[in-house]
Structures are given as structure tokens and as C-alpha cells.
Amino acid sequence: MLLAMQSPRRMTLAGVAVIALSLVAVAAQRPGVHPVSGRVFALPMGVAGVPWLERRERLDEENPDLAMRLIKVERGSTVADLGAGSGYFTIRLAKAVGAAGKVYAVDIQQGMLDLLQRAVTKEKLTNVVPVLGAVDDPRLPAASLDLVLMVDVYHELSSPQTTLAHLKDALKPGGRLVLLEYRAEDPDVPILPEHKMTKAMVKLEVEHEGFKQQRVYDDLPRQHLIVFTRP
């Protein structure tokens, strides 16, 4: 997820770094297009963008604690944080499920998982399992998950249809898939267009792969929180 171009006074150093790094990535990769919606896939953030993920302003801009309350993670449940990055939500999930629960923290970059493991160790958590996923396969155990969470990640998947098929296999019947995505309907959300999605676009793409939209929350400052279930 990238900041839109702002005035120098408003733009953070982390935002500048992320934009610069992403421009390099764009030069090296060519994004794909979703065959159902026609959406152009955004390119994923690299390890050098971690300061953006960990910025203090995120507490106000995204209100992750409210997001966790809306998701209602159950104690003792087994969940996956897909696109876990440096562990910003993984830590919250691990504390929410408790010692009897489990969190699979999935990322396609080993560098992100290394940073995540440091955060897990610092918090003295023993219920997190780091998983090095592939771009089209999160490599999660079948029929094992109560919840899969993707925070500002789905729009960056280069193989969303294949990935959703794997997630459907990994979820238990009735399991939930929760997506947080920056609101494309709101021009005041200062994120580049390819890193935002409309509610209609999310529903179209995810339901096409066999999930059922259960609820949409618009309580967060800048993001949709959209809940799907596996039939």
C-alpha cells in the first residue's frame, strides 16, 4: 500500500522510501490483470518498506485495535495472517487467540519472516508459526483454519484466484476470510489508486472463487473491513 503524492510537509520519510522502492520494483516487474474484474494487480512491498508498516501514525490512520474488535477473534482458534510482513497484526492475533490457539504467519519474503520472528521472540509468544509461502500458494494445512486475515494485502496478490482456492481448502467449513482494503470510493484516502479497492470489486472477485460475503464494516478511518465465509 503506497501513499499518494502529497506535499513535502505532509509526506513522511517512510512514505518517501516506500514510493522510491516501489518505483524500482515497477521497473523490474510487470503487474498482471484480474480476468474477472479487470483490476491491475499492485506490486508487493519489499522488506525496505517495513518503516511504513511500523509507523506510529498507523494507529490513527487505520485504528488496528478497532479492527481487531470488529473481527472478533476467538480464544483458542487457529488463524492465518496472510502477508504478515513484520508481524504488525500477527502479534495482535497471537495475543487474541491465546496460548491454546495458533497463528500461521505467512509471507513470501524470508526477510519479512526474519523480522516477524524477532517481534514474536520479543513478545515471548509461543503460538506463532512462520510460513514461507509462494506467490500462488500460502502453504497452509488443509481444513485447519477458523480465520484467514489479509490486511492491505489482497490487492497485491499476483495470483489471487489460485491463492483463494488454497485458502478455501485451508479453512474449515464456515471459516472466515477477512480482508482490509483502503477505500477506493474515497478520493481523500491518500493511497495510490492501485493500492485501493471498492467494496463492489472485492465482492466480485472473492465471491467468484466460491466464498460468500457475510458483512462489510465501514467503521475504520480509511479501510473497508469485509468478512467472507467458506461454505
Strand partners, 151: 180
CATH number at 173 reads 3.40.50.150
Burial of 49 (0-12, 13-18, 19+ CB in 10 A): buried
Number of domains in the chain: 1
Alpha helix segments (H runs only) across 6-63 = 13-28, 50-53, 58-62
pLDDT tens for each residue of 3-35: 553 433 344 444 444 444 443 444 345 679 999
pLDDT tens for each residue of 213-228: 999 999 999 999 999 9
Assign 72 a pLDDT band (cuts: 50, 70, 90): very high
Question: Distance between CA atoms of 110 and 220, rounded to whole angstroms?
Answer: 30
Please report the DSSP string for 91-160 in residue order. Answer: HHHHHHH-TTSEEEEEES-HHHHHHHHHHHHHTT--SEEEEE-BTTB----TT-EEEEEEES-GGG-SSH
Give domain status of residue 48, yes or no.
yes
Q: Are 104 and 127 in contact (CB under 8 A)?
A: no
Give domain status of residue 44, yes or no.
yes
- The dihedral built from the CA positions of residue 51, 54, 56 and 62, taken in this order, carries a sign that is positive
Give domain status of residue 186, yes or no.
yes
Give domain status of residue 7, yes or no.
no
Give domain status of residue 1, yes or no.
no
- Parallel, antiparallel, or unpaired: how do β-strands 78-82 and 102-107 relate? parallel
Give domain status of residue 3, yes or no.
no
pLDDT at residue 12, rounded to an integer: 46
Q: Are 51 and 14 in contact (CB under 8 A)?
A: yes
Residues with Cβ within 8 Å of 24's Cβ and at least 6 positions away in sequence, in order, are: none
The amino acid sitting at 138 is P
pTM: 0.89
Burial of 161 (0-12, 13-18, 19+ CB in 10 A): middle
Domain holding 165, by residue range, is 13-229
Percent with pLDDT over 90 in the chain: 87
Instruction: Considering only CA atoms, give the Rg of the chain.
Output: 17
CA angle, residues 156, 131, 121, in degrees to nearest 5? 110
Question: Distance between CA atoms of 67 and 152, rounded to whole angstroms?
Answer: 12
Residue carrying the nine cell digits 499518494? 4
pLDDT tens for each residue of 124-174: 999 999 999 999 999 999 999 999 999 999 999 999 999 999 999 999 999
> Would you call 198 helix, strand, or coil by DSSP?
coil
